[in-house]
A and B are shown apart, each in its own frame.
Chain A
Amino acid sequence: MIPPANRPILLVEDNETHYEAMARALRQAGCNQPLVRCADGDEALDYLYRRGRFRSSESAARPIIILLDLNLPGTCGQEVLVAIKSDAELKSIPVIIVTSLSDPGEVRRCYQFGANGFIRKRTGYDETVVTARRLSEYWFQASEVPDGL
């Protein structure tokens, strides 16, 4: 059992710069959780199901929350979301969609599939910092998350 403070935030993000901006913003917002990045959907699912290079549980600790980009090469974010929320074990992990697309239908669909949050990816770095702070405050200070397994 990993203490919550050590459980990582899983960021599923293909764009290196975006990942880095979010990572920096989270640190700057005072979030000290470990960060794990998966560059596409298949990798994210490998991680969560501890497959491929994440076969050992040490290398694939259960994330405390998942920040999921929708626009991914290969298995898209929505498919990843459906897979997580269809799995009895994984579906209790909060999944927050982070995307630059803002189709209103997309938002509704994601919540229907079980998303726990939907955040617009900001264009500027300062705004990204604001977003990261709010995320951190909400998920790690304002609310409780389920225990990891």
Chain B
Amino acid sequence: MPRQKQSAQRKNESPSTHGTLAPRISTSIVATNPIPPHPSHVVGIGASAGGLEALERFFDHMPPDTGLAFVVVPHLSPDFKSLMGELLAKRTKMPVCQVTDGVIVQPNCIYVIPPRKNMIITAGRLVLTDIESPHGLNLPIDIFFRSLAQDLSDRAIGIVLSGTGSDGTRGIRTIKEAGGIVMVQDDTTAKFDGMPRSAIATGLADHVLPPEEMPQQLLNFTKYPAGMESSSPVVLVETDDKLSEIFNLLRTRHGLDFSQYKPAMVARRIERRMIIHQADELRQYLDLLRQTPDESKKLCTELLIHVTAFFRDPEAFTRLASAVVGKLVEQAAPDETLRIWVPACSTGEEAYSLAMLFHEEQERLQKNVEVKIFATDVDEHAVEQAGRGVFPASIASDLSKDRLERFFVKSGDVYQFSPQLRKSVIFAPHNVLKDPPFTKLDLIACRNLLIYLQPELQKKLLSMFHFALAPRGFLFLGASETVGDLAEEFDSVELRWRIYQKCRPSRLTLDNRSAILGAARDISHRGDLSLQIRTSANESLLGRVYETLIADYCPPCFLVNDKHELLYVFGDASRFLRVPPGKPNQDVLRMVGDDLAVVLATAMHKALAEGGEVSYDNVRFGETDLARRISLRVKPLPKRRFDDKGGEKLLLVLMNERSNSEAAAPEGNELDVAGISTQRITDIEQELRQTRENLQATIEELETSNEELQATNEELLAANEELQSTNEELQSVNEELFTVNGEYQKKIAELTEANNDIHNLFRITDIGKVFLDREGRVRKFTPSATAFVNLLEHDVGRPIEHIAHNLVDVDLPAAVRQVLDEGEPLQRDVRARNGQWILMRVLPYRVETKSGEGVIITFVDVSELKRSEAALRESEAKFHDFYDNAPDLFASLDAATGKVVDCNSRLAATLGLPKADVVGRRIFDFMSVETAQLAQRAFEEFLQTGSLRNIEHTLKRQDGSLVEVTLNASAVRDERSRIIVARAVWHDVTDRKAAEERIRRFAAELEESRAEIARQAASLERQAAELQSRNLELARSNKELDDFAHIASHDLKEPLQSLLFNCRFLAEDFSSRLGADGHARLAALMRQAEKMTELVDSLLQFSRFSRVDLNIQEVDLGAVVTDVIESLPPQIAQSGIDFRVQQPLPTVRCDPAISAVFRNLITNAVKYNDKPERWVEIGVNNGGTAAPNDGHDHVPVFFVRDNGIGIAPRDREKVFEIFRRLHAPDKFGGGTGAGLTIARKIVERHGGKIWVESKVGEGATFYFTLKPDGSK
């Protein structure tokens, strides 16, 4: 790359003593990093009307990997969605995104401001704020550029593209101040040149280019190494030839002298210009400057940029207000004017700040003083801008709210300084280094100017300020500036904030002043003669020798210029010179006295006119006798070769006094003063004549030129008028443009709306549409069309022949051709492959009335319609079936006439007429005369109400018989809700009437039977009540019986026991006395008593089971049976019985008293058995099968079976009766006869049942259940 090669070269040739900028450049070669985490520069691009095209051209030429970030700030309409992002995305590979609040700026990205937002960049983030009034004046580009300058300083790049207005102009100023780069679109390439022109007019643009050339320049700059560096100090030799040449150039061209500016600052800014122009050496740049006046102008502007703000260093201003402003206002005499000078005022903020301070102090002290603030700057643009007094909204941050409200008027987005106060500030262009100062000033505020200047110039400037200040006037400097060497001349009022007061009323010496002015005027001509003469602080030895020699040997002699001003006096001239009364001046002729003056004047005139030496000898001097004679020589001083012709001519006047001896010389030798005078008069008259002639000529010339000027003036006036009218025209054109613009906006809105409408229409109608151009190529289609034609997004532009479709038997291309050729629409019902019915229409696309421009194919799914049609037909048929075959009579009657419009066949049949004879006749014709009258009234009523309900009347048949009918009618109304047709329905109620009569009879009979039933029911109820009371009685007596049995058995037991005990006692105590017979009787007695006890026990047990509540629990019947068998009385168990117990027996929920059931049954089975091989079988469900009796298989049926004597059928119930025994007491082991009764009691208490089956002699089986059978 050539660029890198150059850098390398520079690196090699870099001796620091050399006057080039090479050393700095060598330290800062930029590494070409892949992609830095932060953009190397942020490019802010402002654009408005016509800006899109410019942006596209810009990004077309911008490579995507520059490491730069681009922030695009176009003027967007607040009311429309911006497509800027999408449009730009087509032109670049860089990602384009609409800014979201707080997004971090990345390199190689493009950011676009969203509508209705203002944007600033801070700490590398883009921050959005809402625009306060969307339609008011808003300057988003300025706002963004300002923040860009603040955030990125010299890494900020501002670009202003096409647009109207002046947005961006203020922004680029801040970018330049921060050291950034500004590019502006060449106004000839811009569609709208307002913004570019305004920006170019500032003179701050580094480049004015067409947009497509900007990227290259931008990259040159951003990749140029030195562009990155700004901190290393520049060593510039002050006397560098090239630099001074530059200064000379600027001075001669623009009258601005920068040689006394701080070299570092000057060098930095010159260097920046060099970078922009890619000048490697100062020499190249100098050449450039010489060739392009524009560049020198730009350089001046760049050098003159200053930063200023309202109340910069607020503390300083606070101190100033109290220490200076207040004092000045307080001490001012009533008619005095306070004069303040703000040199280098830039855009006027400081001057306005002072105006505010003075106003505030006046208010505080309630004293009205006239204040004049002179605000000057060398930059005319700045002065002009300052004069407008318009400031951006951002100043709100520098000013207190109070001041902002008091001194500023907000208009739109800008602040206008108060007009009243504005009058006290006078702005004027003024070069403080060149132009004479203002005088008698009370305050000079010159802040942050001195820092740019070299110490020498600072000193001079301060002297000038000193001169300009009134006695005790104040000086206000910047925070880092001091009065330096002039400290003695100023009292420090506020050291910290650099407020000084002139301490002596005197002015500085003339020498000093002229030195300042001279130096300022002609700084480079330091070697000139006229200045060389002035007293030098460092006199040379030779000078001192000259002085002595002159004093001793030289006659009095003085230096005079062509205006007769005395410039210097050599030797003692006191004899010749005296100070005349009146105001002293330099005129030598007034100082030498009247007699000598004439001679001297003549001599000088002659010397000047002739250019040679003039000498008069023996001039008499003095009127008295003491008159002396002198010789007078006037000698023009030779010119130096470099003295230009405009320089003043100097004369040396030598006065040599003659000695007294010489004075006594002959009279003839005496200078004839009178002659000289005459000669002098003649000369003067001659000169006067000449002068008159000259004057005449001049006057004539002047008159001529005056006339010319007048003519020119008239022309100018005319031109001016023309211009004014042109201006007016332009204004009206502008108005028009505004209107047209507004209309366009409205049109666009309408179009957008129409477009949306169409889109929505397409979407909601769900009608497939395909638009074809005149060649039959697909132009556009709706999504619903894809169901019928296989179209994809990229098929747009393909001929319809290429597109497959899903329609059966349709030649789509042919249809299209036909319509294109004939221009007639085509319509067909077609079937889609999926069975849908489609109404396909091929229509010519018309523009105005011209067809053949293309074709529209529409597909409407009419399957539903087809289905509906079919359904309608079916429904119609159905209706007719019902209508004609219904049992009721239907007719539609004309409301006006009562004529039958239509009727069903049933009506005709009922009336006994063909349908044709019924239709057309009045319905009243089919009634008897009386009925017809009633019906007519009903019909009239119907015409009012629109409805008839259940009107009973009769219709007359053709044969004269009557039909009983009820009539219902409803109305059919027209759109004005008048009744036009009556729909009448008659129901034949002849049969119903008969039925009703029958029902009435039945009802009467029914009523009678019902009364009878009620009577019987009453008697039944009585009987039921009786039964219930009887039942209660029974229950009560049953309970009593139970209780009785219990108490009786218990009370019976005691005496029995006592009886038995006493029998034993008797047997023991009277054994011997009883004898055998007695013992036998006693034994019988005891047997009976024991028998009695058993009976009572059984009774007690039985009554207990009746009384006690069941204690239901899980009972293992297997264990119960085993226990029962084991605890059988020995006399029974001994007899060797085969107990066959089914295994296993279930566990059931019951009272443990169940053991008594098994005990009684098993005991009986064992006892009543006369077989030699006795067995007892115990089990459940007949050993697995159901019981013989049906209906018990749902609950377990237990059984105890034996092979004993059996029970005769007649006894099978008796065995369960209490105390009932079937055998003699001593047979089969005896018993109480209560066992089975107790068993039955227990079973029944569980809700179960017990029964026996038996064959006499073969055995018996007792069955029982323990719960009610669920099936019963």
Contact = CB atoms under 8 A, between A and B. Distances in A.
A binds B: yes
Interface of A: 15, 17-18, 20-21, 24, 123-125
Interface string B1061-1094: 1101100100000000000000000000010010
B1058 A125 contact: no
B1093 A15 contact: no
Contacts of A21: 1061, 1064-1065
A15 B1055 CA distance: 10
Contacts of B1053: 123
Best-surrounded residue of B1054, B1060, B1061, B1068 (most CB of chain A within 10 A): B1061
Best-surrounded residue of A21, A24, A124, A125 (most CB of chain B within 10 A): A125
Best-surrounded residue of A15, A17, A20 (most CB of chain B within 10 A): A17
A84 to B, nearest CB: 26
Interface in B720-752: none
B9 interface: no
Nearest to A123: B1057
Contacts of B1093: 123
Contacts of B1062: 17
A119 to B, nearest CB: 16
Interface residues of B, number: 12
Best-surrounded residue of A20, A24, A123 (most CB of chain B within 10 A): A123
Contacts of B1068: 24
Given A20-B1065, A24-B1065, A124 B1060 contact: yes
B1061 to A, nearest CB: 5
A24 to B, nearest CB: 7
Contacts of B1065: 20-21, 24
Contacts of B1058: 15, 17-18
B1054 A125 contact: no
8 interchain residue pairs of minimum CB distance: A17-B1058, A125-B1064, A21-B1061, A17-B1061, A125-B1061, A123-B1057, A17-B1062, A123-B1093
A24 B1061 CA distance: 11
A17 B1058 CA distance: 6
Contacts of A15: 1054, 1058
B545 to A, nearest CB: 156
Contacts of A124: 1060, 1090
Given A123-B1093, A125-B1060, 20 more contacts: A15-B1054, A15-B1058, A17-B1057, A17-B1061, A17-B1062, A18-B1057, A18-B1061, A20-B1061, A20-B1065, A21-B1061, A21-B1064, A21-B1065, A24-B1065, A24-B1068, A123-B1053, A123-B1057, A124-B1060, A124-B1090, A125-B1061, A125-B1064
Nearest to B1064: A125
Contacts, number: 25
A145 B1060 CA distance: 34
14 contacts: A15-B1054, A15-B1058, A17-B1057, A17-B1061, A17-B1062, A18-B1057, A20-B1061, A20-B1065, A24-B1068, A123-B1053, A123-B1060, A125-B1060, A125-B1061, A125-B1064
A18 B1061 CA distance: 8
Nearest to B1054: A15
A24 B1068 CA distance: 10
A24 B1090 CA distance: 20
Contacts of A123: 1053, 1057, 1060, 1093
Contacts of A17: 1057-1058, 1061-1062
A116 to B, nearest CB: 26
B381 to A, nearest CB: 122
Contacts of A18: 1057-1058, 1061
A18 B1058 CA distance: 7
Interface string B1020-1061: 000000000000000000000000000000000110011011
A124 B1058 CA distance: 10
Contacts of A20: 1061, 1065
A119 B190 CA distance: 132
A123 B1062 CA distance: 13
A21 to B, nearest CB: 5
A17 B1090 CA distance: 16
B361 to A, nearest CB: 112
A21 B1054 CA distance: 13
A21 B1053 CA distance: 16
Nearest to B1090: A124
A124 B1053 CA distance: 12
Interface string B964-979: 0000000000000000
B966 to A, nearest CB: 85
A71 B704 CA distance: 173
B1012 to A, nearest CB: 61
B996 to A, nearest CB: 78
A17 B1065 CA distance: 10
A89 to B, nearest CB: 35
Nearest to B1063: A125
B306 to A, nearest CB: 116
Nearest to B1062: A17
A18 B1090 CA distance: 16
A107 B1061 CA distance: 26
B1050 to A, nearest CB: 9
Contacts of B1090: 124
B1046 to A, nearest CB: 13
B890 to A, nearest CB: 91
Contacts of A24: 1065, 1068
Best-surrounded residue of A15, A18, A20, A124 (most CB of chain B within 10 A): A124
B1099 to A, nearest CB: 15
A83 B1068 CA distance: 38
A123 B1065 CA distance: 15
B71 to A, nearest CB: 101
A26 to B, nearest CB: 14
A15 B1090 CA distance: 19
B1047 to A, nearest CB: 14
B732 to A, nearest CB: 126
A20 B1090 CA distance: 19
A130 B1061 CA distance: 15
A125 B1053 CA distance: 14
A9 to B, nearest CB: 19
B250 to A, nearest CB: 131
A123 B1093 CA distance: 9
Contacts of B1064: 21, 125
A15 B1060 CA distance: 14
A123 B1055 CA distance: 11
A97 B1058 CA distance: 20
Nearest to A21: B1061
B332 to A, nearest CB: 123
Nearest to B1067: A125
Nearest to A24: B1065
A20 B1053 CA distance: 17
A20 B1054 CA distance: 14
B26 to A, nearest CB: 118
A21 B1057 CA distance: 10
B31 to A, nearest CB: 106
B919 to A, nearest CB: 103
Nearest to B1055: A17
B423 to A, nearest CB: 121
A76 B1093 CA distance: 26
A20 B1062 CA distance: 9
Nearest to A101: B1050
B107 to A, nearest CB: 99
A21 B1064 CA distance: 9
A124 B1093 CA distance: 10
A17 B1057 CA distance: 9
B1086 to A, nearest CB: 10
A123 B1050 CA distance: 13
Nearest to B1056: A123
B443 to A, nearest CB: 120
A126 to B, nearest CB: 9
Nearest to A122: B1057
Nearest to A125: B1064
